[in-house]
Structure 1
């Protein structure tokens, strides 16, 4: 861009008008949710979903991957902010500082996605899952921290999803300090100075993961019928490029676990239409903005490859930071995400790069490929 081009770009059409300053607001969900929107229970009724038939999930607890070299992935995951919970021959378990016994499991072998793992409400729900066509038998988890019982299912495109019950939780902590912040007229931090120690961004818990799928409708219906997984937001495209409401085609979903009146993360799983089926990323919660930026600098100094971040998402509101692990799997730190429940309407927003972030580096053109 030449100087004249830059000057033309920044010269206001009306020089007498000042630019409005930026601002941030924590607004009520009904104001923030994309329009159109509709009540969750109405969406389920129109979709003929039998809530009693669903396998009841309670939370997402850990990811499972296969890696060629466990020592190398262990080094990366430590730099990413996890600690080694247990080692066994050809297996590793990694923990955060939350109550879950571990948040990531790795076994030795050719690079492979082994699925996300959800806790279920009861052993009866695990038995229900074992009756789904193609499901594994209920197996006792004898070697992993916390133990428990597990069933593995596969969705219509072959992605595994693991269900766990009976795992013993660990003692959570230590928790980072919630920093006191000074503002223009509210300055509670008196005679205390902000100081930070460089290092990895300690992981608290697993928040969500995303899948790129060929048949979006079939995948979306399988997840929302088989489990108490419900849409928070849909993304759509205009099928006829005319903007007619009846031609809008859903191409992605941010979905959360339906816990009724109890609040939960804005999304626990993400599905996006794609020419190929593959895992997109998994995402882990960290403490706050400073933690996230210090973690970003730590990973950069270690020579790992950044994907996108740090920035702030629109849907979900999370502060995000995406990286490649050493084997080409995308993994994310996030902080400050939205919470939703059954009173949160289902929203529809237009798909596109502009729907992904309110600020941050420019999104890579291939990000959702």
Structure 2
């Protein structure tokens, strides 16, 4: 007997909230940011960081002995700023405000001071700290880098619609050209408090909530959050927040032209000896085609293409969190991606879990049971 049941039928999140659940947005946020501006890191080896960045598809916008700016082909600010440090660390995101008035309004509301950024970046910034302890920068009026030549998507013969005749497809095995920064994922022990902070302060709105199976009544444990630009569509998520045993960076994602750019770029990275984490596949929440890699410092980075865009009219979806629900198609999520690969990191993770359970936060024993079920699903 053929089983025609869709295994993802209960994992898609077109189903909405039930009475009394989180609305996914603030009634009167202080400001409404427009996008991520860039991400900031510290690393001891800037040369190694730049070699990987070029293989991944970034272009170097600026380089000094102590600082590296990486950009995509789209106009605007750099995607990533890396400063020389004694250890590798993610130091925080920068969000782009609509204008300097929003930066000043946010500074006044939080008792912070707006300051001018260095001439290499230009503009105005205010530095905040979210409830998890992450430094969050909001900027405006930064220098505009000119657009670079982009990697053109391939012309595809789709079904019976032929747009290419007397010509072959031969994608070059070369770095996928990063177009722009898409999103960053952050894990926190204070998920609900941190989520509300971003909605209240930056005007972000939730596209999708995930909850541990059997624990919906306790509320969500992950949210995919987009910028509220009114009728102008924005990425399904600019920030994703997840409950976990530590406050830490999970991954960041960068858009490329299409599937062939992503796949050929992945082959190039593999040829250069870099570590593949998971992919290629297509996500459920956000719908992106994805491929995950780790840089030499262990930070996970994602190539993506064909992601969802939502305006401000869509309400949050709700779905159970499972490992099998991470993708509509593609290989199963790897232990490396899930953070459970054998090795010293597993022992460190166990210490982190024990430490979190001893503290007063949202990650308790019941939540731990839910997380274990997700990893085993």
Aligned to 2:95: 118
Structure 1 residue 106 displacement after superposition: 0.5
Aligned to 2:61: 85
Q: How does 1:81-160 map to 2 (within 5 A)?
A: 81-109=57-85, 110-133=87-110, 135=112, 137-145=113-121, 147-160=122-135
Q: Distance in 2 between matches of 1:57 and 1:35?
A: 26
Whether the aligned pair in 2 keeps the contact of 1:134 and 1:154 (CA below 8 Å) is no
Aligned to 1:10: none
- SS of residue matched to 2:82: strand
For residues 122-155 of structure 1, give each alpha carbon's deviation from its aligned partner in whole angstroms, at most 9, with x where no partner exists: 11111122235474x322222424x212221110
Q: Distance in 2 between matches of 1:319 and 1:278?
A: 24
Q: Distance in 1 between matches of 2:232 and 2:245?
A: 36
1:50 aligns with 2:20: no
Whether the aligned pair in 2 keeps the contact of 1:91 and 1:105 (CA below 8 Å) is yes
1:180 paired residue among 143, 155, 162: 155
Structure 1 residue 157 displacement after superposition: 1.1
1:353 paired residue among 315, 323, 326: 323
Give structure 1 stretches of 5+ with no counterpart. Answer: 1-13, 23-31
1:273 paired residue among 226, 243, 249: 243
Aligned to 2:260: 290
- 1:323 and 1:269, CA in 2 relative to 1: closer, same or farther beyond 3 A? same
Q: Distance in 1 between matches of 2:147 and 2:54?
A: 18
1:72 paired residue among 48, 55, 59: 48
Structure 1 residue 366 displacement after superposition: 5.9
1:257 paired residue among 194, 216, 227: 227
- SS of residue matched to 1:200: coil
Q: Distance in 1 between matches of 2:52 and 2:159?
A: 40
Q: Distance in 2 between matches of 1:48 and 1:330?
A: 28
Structure 1 residue 36 displacement after superposition: 3.0
TM-score (norm. length: structure 2): 0.82
Runs of 4+ in 1 over 6 A off after TM superposition: none
Structure 1 residue 216 displacement after superposition: 1.2
Whether the aligned pair in 2 keeps the contact of 1:84 and 1:94 (CA below 8 Å) is yes
Higher strand share: 1
Q: Distance in 2 between matches of 1:360 and 1:225?
A: 36
Whether the aligned pair in 2 keeps the contact of 1:132 and 1:153 (CA below 8 Å) is no
Q: Distance in 1 between matches of 2:327 and 2:226?
A: 20
Q: Distance in 1 between matches of 2:16 and 2:175?
A: 39
**Residues paired across the two proteins, number:** 334
C-alpha RMSD of the superposition: 2.5
1:59 aligns with 2:35: yes
Structure 1 residue 295 displacement after superposition: 0.9
1:163 aligns with 2:128: no
Give structure 2 stretches of 5+ with no counterpart. Answer: 340-377
Q: Distance in 2 between matches of 1:248 and 1:356?
A: 21
For residues 13-69 of structure 1, give each alpha carbon's deviation from its aligned partner in whole angstroms, at most 9, with x where no partner exists: x3xx6x87x9xxxxxxxxx96243159xx988x679332x42221111211100011
For residues 302-326 of structure 1, give each alpha carbon's deviation from its aligned partner in whole angstroms, at most 9, with x where no partner exists: 1111111111101101011111111
Return the index of the structure with the highest Cα Rg.
Answer: 1
